[in-house]
A and B are shown apart, each in its own frame.
Chain A
Amino acid sequence: MRPNDRSYLKSHEWCKIDGNVATIGISDYAVSHLSDLVFLDLPNKGSNVTAGESFGEIESVKAVSDIYSPVSGEVIEVNKELPDNLEWLTEDAFGKSWMLKVRLTAKSADLMDGAAYDAHCAAEG
C-alpha cells in the first residue's frame, strides 16, 4: 500500500499537506510506467500553480507527460537538484524526489487517499 499520509490524483501526482504548505511529487506508479526518465521541467519559485492544471513536464525516452497540480497556491520551494538526479524518482518517489512546496490556497476536489489510489492503479493495470 502506498503512503496514507498524503493524497493522490488519478493522473498520479501526490501531495502531502503540513499546515498551509503542500509538498508535491509523482507516484512510483507513474515513474514505473514512464521508464528511463530524461528531462524534467519545473516552475520557478514565486510562480503560481492551479489545482488540476499542468505545472511541469517530464520526458522519458519515449514520451513527454504533463504533471498536474493537486493544489492551488504559490510555489515557495523547488527541488532544484531533482532535474539533474532523475534516478531519485525511481529510488524514492515519495521522499527525496519531491518536486514543489506550495503555499496552499485550495485543494483539488478529486484527491484520493492511499487505499483509493491503490485501487485506481490496480484498475489501470
Chain B
Amino acid sequence: MILRRIDEPAIAAAANMARDEALLLEGDTAALRLYSWAPHSVSLGYFQRHCDFADLGPDVPIVRRLTGGGAIFHGVEVTYALALPASALPTDVEASYARLHDAVVAALADIDVAAVRLESGAAPGARPTSRWCFADPGRHDIVDRSGQKLVGSAQRRVRTQHGARVLHHGSIVVERPKATPFVAAIADQVAATRQSELRERLAQRIAAALGMELRPDQLTPEEDALASMLQRDRYDSDAFTRMR
C-alpha cells in the first residue's frame, strides 16, 4: 500500500485540524501529513472544557481537536497526522500505539535524540488530573532520559463509507514552550535545526513500520474542498470550540 507523504508549511490551527479530518473522512487512502503551527496555538482534546483554559488570554488561538487526550501548546514542534484504514494498524488501541511509537523512537534515534517508549506501568488515571497532555506520561508514551514526555499523541477511530479508519495525531516538541515548561524537547539534546531531518526520518520509519511505500503527494481537490468546509463549519466555529 502507498503511504501518501504530505508536507505542508506552518498554517493556522483551524486549517490544520480541518485538513487532518478531511484526510480521515475523504477516500480510503493512507496519508501522513507533516506540518506546524502559525501562529503558535493550543489544541484541546475532544472532550476537554474550553473554560478550563480561560487563563491563556485572548491572544492564544485555541482549537478543538477531533482526537482525545489533553491539551497541547503547539510552539516549535514537528506535528504529524496519520490517516489510514484501521486494518493497517493492530485492532487493539494500545498495540497500535506501540507500533507507531516504536517507529517514532527510532526516528528520534536517527537524529541522535535519546528517547524511550514506556512499556509498563499504569495508564494515566481514568480521569486525568492535568489539563495538559504532556504533564502525565503513561504507558506507551515517549519520554526522554529524565522521564519527561517528548511526544504527545491521540487517536480518533471512525467508520466511513470506506470502512473503519483511524486518525493518529502526534506532536514532537522541538523547543520547550513557556506555557508548558514541564515538557521535554529535542533541542535539549540536538540543534533545533535538525527538525527537517527529523521529518524525513519520521516519514521513513512510519512507512517501514506500516509496511508501506512512501510517495510525495498533496491533498486532492476533493479533500481540499472538504477541508475548507470543515474549517468554516467546525474548527473556526465557536459552537464547536466551546461545545464543552
Contact = CB atoms under 8 A, between A and B. Distances in A.
Determine if chain A interacts with chain B: yes
Interface of A: 11, 33-39, 41, 54, 57, 59-66, 68, 86, 124-125
Interface string B139-151: 0100000000000
24 contacts: A11-B159, A11-B164, A33-B92, A35-B92, A35-B93, A36-B124, A38-B47, A38-B68, A38-B126, A57-B47, A61-B69, A61-B128, A62-B69, A62-B93, A62-B97, A62-B123, A63-B157, A64-B46, A64-B66, A64-B67, A64-B156, A64-B157, A86-B126, A125-B91
A60 B164 CA distance: 17
A86 B125 CA distance: 13
A38 B138 CA distance: 14
Given A38-B68, A39-B47, A61-B138, A33 B91 contact: yes
Nearest to A33: B92
B155 interface: yes
Nearest to A68: B159
Interface residues of B, number: 28
Q: Is the interface of B mostly helix, strand, loop or mixed?
A: loop
Interface of B: 45-47, 66-69, 90-94, 97, 123-124, 126-128, 138, 140, 153-159, 164
Given A38-B68, A38-B126, A38-B128, A64 B47 contact: yes
